[in-house]
Amino acid sequence: MVTSIGVIAAACARAFAMDGRIVAGTRLNLRVDEALSSSAVLLTSMAFALLATVASAVWLTLGQTDASLLPTAVAGLIVLADGPHYLLTLRKRFAAAIVGALPYAVGAIAVALSAVFGLGADVLLLWMTSLAVSLGVSWCTIGTMPQTTRAVPGVLGTSVRISAEALYSALGSQLGILIIYLVASPTATAGIRLAYSIIFAPVFSIIQALTPLLLVKMSELDAAGATAQVRLAGKWLAGGLAGVVLSGLVGWWVSATGVAGAAYDHIGPFLVPIGAALLGNLVLDTALLVLRFRAEPKTPHRIRLMIVSGDIAVQLALTLWFGLPGLITALTAMAVVKLVAALLTWRAVQEPPHPDRAVTA
């Protein structure tokens, strides 16, 4: 839970300090480097890290009165380390981003080796140390970069809305999984978690890693018009679809053959609904990304809010009433709704003259 809180807070910080500035800056014909501000990233990361730490402390205190509050530092460090890495990626300083991530990778390898050879390393200490070192290395690199930031008028409204969307999406995607712990058997819970975290995690991680580059490319194509952006979005969705389908096929093979052990025998029923949910999110996110450059900030925000509100309501109702079959039905049904919403959004993307970009919800 502490890790989930940190990841959600990091996503909100990304959206507020960087994604929002890129979208707002593009509408003012600013380059990505001109719109991004390292000071804004630092201040935003610190604020959301504090929120994540406090939220984690509250969760642990409510859950266990004798729980150690040390893990709350992990949530804050996740946010602090993610900000500079994301900023380096957006500025296409890939070598620096990789160097900044290496300490985190070394820490993960150390934990894995310790588990394999029974060395008994302190996982929490290694985790926190690697995050702190990655944070320091990344910010040292950013400190040596030339700053070309320009003022971005009207950025606050865009940043707040995009950050709120990140929060909505995270809550909507995690809610049903959290509820299922209360209403389903441990076997079913393990099956759905394995399908999420093992089978589809690799392709989901790749999509997440490449999303910043898609955002930058969309910004660069803005001057070429909506047609160029839609063409790029189509290629992006084709690649994402191939990855999700391939992951699902691998999961089906693992479940059918039992090659990975009995634990994976239970993932079969969850592959289609989870794969559909991932595809629904991917298509909707991509459609809204194109729309952001063509519409007022409130339009994609309203679409997202309506979809996520419906998603949460459907997941809550069906999961609490029907248990695991209800969650499966909710995931599949909302995937269809998101696909339909994405298609309608594509139709709304027109070529309005600058600076109006007047696409209404």
- Considering 100, 133, 153, which residue would you say is the last residue of a domain? 153
Residue 342 tokens, joined:
């994405």
Distances 148 to 38, 44, 86, 179 between C-alpha atoms, Å:
10, 19, 17, 47
Whether residues 250 and 354 fall in one domain: yes
CB 269 within 8 A of CB 248: no
Residue 175 confidence (pLDDT) above 80: no
Whether residues 2 and 77 fall in one domain: yes
Residue 350 confidence (pLDDT) above 60: no
Whether residues 229 and 138 fall in one domain: no
Whether residues 145 and 161 fall in one domain: no
Signed CA dihedral, 275, 281, 284, 285: sign only: negative
Average model confidence (pLDDT) across the chain:
86
- With CA atoms as reference, report the closest residue to 73 among 137, 121, 135: 135
The three-class DSSP label of residue 353 is coil
Residue 291 confidence (pLDDT) above 60: yes
**Confidence band (pLDDT; 50, 70, 90) for 219?**
very high
- Per DSSP, the residues of 149-178 read ----TTHHHHHHHHHHHHHHHHHHHHHHHH
Containing domain of residue 109, as a range?
A: 1-153
Residue that wins the pLDDT comparison between 284 and 180? 284
Whether residues 148 and 297 fall in one domain: no
Q: What is the pLDDT of residue 119?
A: 77
Whether residues 128 and 213 fall in one domain: no
Number of other residues whose CB lies within 10 A of the CB of residue 360: 9
Q: What is the spatial distance between Cα 246 and Cα 244, in angstroms, rounded to a whole number? A: 5
Q: What is the pLDDT of residue 176?
A: 63
Whether residues 59 and 193 fall in one domain: no
The greatest distance separating any two alpha carbons of the chain, rounded to the nearest whole angstrom, comes to 64
Q: Tokens 């990361």 correspond to what residue?
A: 45
Interacting residues of 196 by C-beta distance below 8 A, sequence separation 6+: 177, 274
- Considering 122, 153, 184, which residue would you say is the last residue of a domain? 153
- Per DSSP, the residues of 182-246 read HHS-HHHHHHHHHIIIIISHHHHHHHHHHHHHHHHHHHHTGGG-HHHHHHHHHHHHHHHHHHHHH
- Considering 153, 180, 214, which residue would you say is the last residue of a domain? 153
Whether residues 25 and 79 fall in one domain: yes
Number of domains in the chain: 2
Residue that wins the pLDDT comparison between 255 and 183? 255
Whether residues 257 and 166 fall in one domain: yes
Residue 48 tokens, joined:
């959301």
**Confidence band (pLDDT; 50, 70, 90) for 361?**
very low
Residue 358 confidence (pLDDT) above 60: no
Whether residues 65 and 129 fall in one domain: yes
Whether residues 175 and 280 fall in one domain: yes
Whether residues 65 and 172 fall in one domain: no
- With CA atoms as reference, report the closest residue to 330 among 172, 171, 167: 172
Residue 86 confidence (pLDDT) above 90: yes
Number of other residues whose CB lies within 10 A of the CB of residue 157: 14
**Confidence band (pLDDT; 50, 70, 90) for 3?**
confident
Residue 326 tokens, joined:
């209800």
- Omega within 30 of 0 (cis) for the link into 355: yes
